[in-house]
């Protein structure tokens, strides 16, 4: 029998993002997945209200945190991984291909001395790697397409699929960021849909189509049956045509040029300058 994870979702309304507290009921050990650091771009102000709520939720449930996990370097919010590590002492981890994202973006930001080696994290997971959350088995799937470094965490009967599949009424993730690929996303989605039909799938975002309340959970069977981009079983070529045409109509996320220089550092702000203040660098014309 496949172990069942206890999953609590936290919706970050300003960025339509989902963070998760994943708990092994047998040991009360847990992980935090895709935590968000609040950022007010108009004021240039970073705050920790949402991340502090994750800490409070773990403490209220008497859960000890074993891991702080990101599924990929996010383009629409700042990761709170480094802040949570300071507070909780748990190791930070991400997919091993983050080094390719770091190499790409250090060029975009013109940061020749930036260490693009993944050393900002405690563990880099390759495809097929395994670990545990308490006694829950976890398997890592490399799931590129949205980014070069995206991974899916399969935790017992649950899979955290980040920006690959969204809820069935919204479809699939965009692939037009630097390093993205609609063809790679199709292959990643097919690998996820090869999981058992009753596998619970948890998404990285929900954009509230038609004004409905936030949703974040589906199953493999539901995605196969109802996903608006997949229910007609498109070929790889047809999916790529659809995805690339749709992506051309989408504006860039408003925080992408701010977020990537934080998230390529594991959620850390750039080092303070001589006046004690940290600055974000915006590469004009880069996108």
Q: What is the pLDDT of residue 287?
A: 86
The mean predicted confidence, pLDDT, of the chain is 96
Model pLDDT for residues 174-225, shown as the tens digit of each residue: 999 999 999 999 999 999 999 999 999 999 999 999 999 999 999 999 999 9
The secondary structure of the chain, three-state, reads CCCCCEEEEEEEHHHCEEEEEEEECCCCEEEEECCEEEEECCCCEEECHHHHHHHHHHHHCCCEEEEEECCCCCCCCEECHHHHHHHHCCCEEEECCHHHHHHHHHHHCCCCCCCCCCCCCCEEECCCCEEEECCEEEEEEECCCCCCCCEEEEECCEEEEECCECCCCCCECCCCCCCCCHHHHHHHHHHHHCCCCCCEEEECECCCHHHCCCCCEEEHHHHHHHCCCCCCCCCHHHHHHHHHHHHCCCCCCCCHHHHHHHHCCCCCCCCCCCCCCCCCCCCCCCC
Give pLDDT, residue 2. Answer: 83
* pLDDT for residue 76 is more than 80: yes
- Per-residue pLDDT, 190: 98
For residue 261, pLDDT beyond 80: yes
Give the residue-averaged pLDDT of 261-268: 97
Q: Above 90 in pLDDT, residue 3?
A: no
According to CATH, the superfamily of the domain at 6-208+215-262 is Ribonuclease Z/Hydroxyacylglutathione hydrolase-like (3.60.15.10)
Could you tell me the pLDDT band of residue 14, with boundaries at 50, 70 and 90? very high
Residue 286: pLDDT over 90:
no
Domain range annotation of the chain: 6-208+215-262
Task: Please give the model's pTM, rounded to 2 decimal places.
Answer: 0.96
pLDDT on residue 72: 97
The tens digit of pLDDT for each residue in 107-148 reads: 999 999 999 999 999 999 999 999 999 999 999 999 999 999
Q: What are the pLDDT digits (tens) for 151-172? A: 999 999 999 999 999 999 999 9
- What is the per-residue pLDDT across 241-257, written as a single tens digit (0 to 9) for each? 999 999 999 999 999 99
Summarize the confidence of residues 53-61 as an average pLDDT: 98
Tell me the per-residue pLDDT of 84-98, one tens digit each, with 9 for 90 and over: 999 999 999 999 999
């Amino acid at each position: 029998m496949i172990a069942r994870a206890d999953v609590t979702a936290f919706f970050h309304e300003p960025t339509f993002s989902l963070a998760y507290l994943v708990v092994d009921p047998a040991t009360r050990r847990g992980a935090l997945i895709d935590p968000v650091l609040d950022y007010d771009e108009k004021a240039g102000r970073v705050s920790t209200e949402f991340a502090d709520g994750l800490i409070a939720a773990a403490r209220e449930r008497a859960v000890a945190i074993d891991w702080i996990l990101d599924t990929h370097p996010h383009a629409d919010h700042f990761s709170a991984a480094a802040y949570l590590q300071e507070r909780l002492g748990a190791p930070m981890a991400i997919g091993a291909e983050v080094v390719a994202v770091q190499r790409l973006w250090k060029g975009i930001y013109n940061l020749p001395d930036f260490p693009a080696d993944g050393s900002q994290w405690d563990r880099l997971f390759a495809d097929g790697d395994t670990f545990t959350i308490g006694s829950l088995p976890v398997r890592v799937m490399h799931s590129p397409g949205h980014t070069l470094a995206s991974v899916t965490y399969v935790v017992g009967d649950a899979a955290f699929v980040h920006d690959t599949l969204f809820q069935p009424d919204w479809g699939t993730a965009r692939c037009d960021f630097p390093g993205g690929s609609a063809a790679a996303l199709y292959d990643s989605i097919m690998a996820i849909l090869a999981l058992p039909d009753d596998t619970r799938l948890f998404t990285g975002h929900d954009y509230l189509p038609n004004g409905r309340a936030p949703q974040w959970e589906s199953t493999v069977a539901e995605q196969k049956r109802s996903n608006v981009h997949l229910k007609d079983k498109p070929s790889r070529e047809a999916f790529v045509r659809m995805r690339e045409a749709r992506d051309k109509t989408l504006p860039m996320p408003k925080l992408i040029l701010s977020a990537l220089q934080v998230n390529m550092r594991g959620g850390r702000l750039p080092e303070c300058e001589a006046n004690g203040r940290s600055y974000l660098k915006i590469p004009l014309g880069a996108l």
